[in-house]
Amino acid sequence: MNKRNVFDVLKERGYLAQVTHEDEVRDLLGSESVTFYIGFDPTADSLHVGHFIQVMVMMHMQQAGHRPIALIGGGTGMVGDPSGKTDMRKMMTKETIDHNCRAFQKQLSRFLDFSEGQALLVNNGDWLLDLNYVEFLREVGVHFSVNRMLTAECFKSRLEKGLSFLEFNYMLMQSYDFLALYRKYQAKLQLGGDDQWSNILGGVDLIRRVEGSPAYGMTFNLLTTSAGKKMGKTEAGALWLDPDKTSPYEFYQYWRNIDDDDVKKCLALLTFLPMEEVERLGSLKDEKINDAKKVLAYEVTKVIHGEEEAKKAEAASQALFGSGGADAEVPGSTITEKEFQDHRNIIDLLHLIKLIPSKGEGRRLIQQGGIYVNDERIEAIDHTLTDSDLKDRSLMIRKGKKVYHKVTVE
């Protein structure tokens, strides 16, 4: 542990948003192995890039010799965090939550070393679900001032739109998590996205009051674009870590196409490249910054999907957009001879391979000149494909400028 203080690393890379006690936390992280935790609520069956920032932090921390606890919110998920949300969350069934928890576990174990207790994975359902209401109120509830809670930033938007008592309790539950982890594993530090600030403070205060011991909290910047919007959104919704929900190719392409202004930030937050390299790549201008985007896309894809998938995605992108070899694995689908014969009409085929959600959309696309077959623009909405369109039993369809889809007939 002769490395730099991880606190400085996190700060330099731009993760830090708020810290409860900056100097103390820095000293602590520099002097001993600290057990810390980050919670993940199982709101979907895969983590997405928003979560990934937190995972990156955990990796940095673990590399620096600290012990991460990944907390999966099997208990808090039953309530739903109202922080920053404008609408009430849909209540999820217990089955869904369990299913999502397992998916999270699987994904997290790819990024952190859980062997020999170097990192822990716990589920707060283990202690939250069997709580006795009155006991909980007496032990935890007494320490919370409703007056103060109401002034918390995280409830602000909900005080205008409505907030149920169920969700109002979320803060207490998360605070109790911290206390439980403190007691069980001596966790002294809770990390989280900046939207978790109020919830984290709740836990820090609770431990200080109940145990009379110091506890700390620290939040990280959310992944936003330079325009301030949440990043990691695609037309299909979030950018998922699950390759079945967002393919490595799509994933790679997302980062390849990111705004110039966001390149440097993403390199720092989402890759392990040394900061000198981040600085160098991030300061490239105009066309040159495309090189930085390629590095970014490759590196992020590598961390999440592995080197092999990253190379494939890179090769496919090169083949489609550059001058690379044509035999790379480009995205596409395989159909049978019969399906091809039955869908010779271009719109039918587009619909079959799910490149368009409806045939009306297909007509519009063609009328606007957005569909290409083997690099030739399709002009008529009743265009019919022939066998001679098949080159090597396949044809390349392009939708718009960037969506490539190779159809192979078997």
Positions in the binding site for RNA (CB under 7 A)? 159-164, 227, 235, 253, 256-260, 286-287, 289-290, 293, 317-318, 320-322, 351, 357-361, 363-365, 368-370, 399-403
In whole angstroms, the minimum distance from the beta carbon of 332 to RNA comes to 16
Is 234 one of the annotated active-site residues of the chain?
Answer: yes
Which residues contact residue 47 at a Cβ distance below 8 angstroms, ignoring those fewer than 6 apart? 40, 55, 104, 107, 108, 240, 241, 242
Is 334 one of the annotated active-site residues of the chain?
Answer: no
The residue annotated as part of the active site, out of 21, 26, 60, 85, is 85
The residue annotated as part of the active site, out of 89, 311, 383, 405, is 89
The residue annotated as part of the active site, out of 35, 54, 174, 301, is 174
How far apart CA 331 and CA 396 sit, in angstroms, is: 10
H-assigned helices in 47-87: 49-63
In whole angstroms, the minimum distance from the beta carbon of 405 to RNA comes to 11
In whole angstroms, the minimum distance from the beta carbon of 373 to RNA comes to 13
Residue pair 202/170 in contact by the 8 Å Cβ criterion: no
The residue annotated as part of the active site, out of 8, 98, 195, 242, is 195
Nearer to RNA, 164 or 336 (CB): 164
In whole angstroms, the minimum distance from the beta carbon of 319 to RNA comes to 9
Nearer to RNA, 287 or 327 (CB): 287
H-assigned helices in 43-123: 49-63, 94-111
In whole angstroms, the minimum distance from the beta carbon of 348 to RNA comes to 8
Q: Which helix (H) or strand (E) holds 405?
A: strand 403-409
Is 93 one of the annotated active-site residues of the chain?
Answer: no
How far apart CA 37 and CA 40 sit, in angstroms, is: 10
Which residues contact residue 323 at a Cβ distance below 8 angstroms, ignoring those fewer than 6 apart? none
Q: How big is the CA angle at 219 (ends 91 and 259), to the nearest 5 degrees? A: 90
Residue 263 dihedral angles phi and psi, to the nearest 5°: -60, -50
Is 230 one of the annotated active-site residues of the chain?
Answer: yes
Is 43 one of the annotated active-site residues of the chain?
Answer: yes
The residue annotated as part of the active site, out of 233, 351, 363, 399, is 233
Is 51 one of the annotated active-site residues of the chain?
Answer: yes
Is 48 one of the annotated active-site residues of the chain?
Answer: yes
Is 344 one of the annotated active-site residues of the chain?
Answer: no
Q: Which residues are catalytic?
A: 43, 48, 51, 85, 89, 174, 195, 230, 233-234
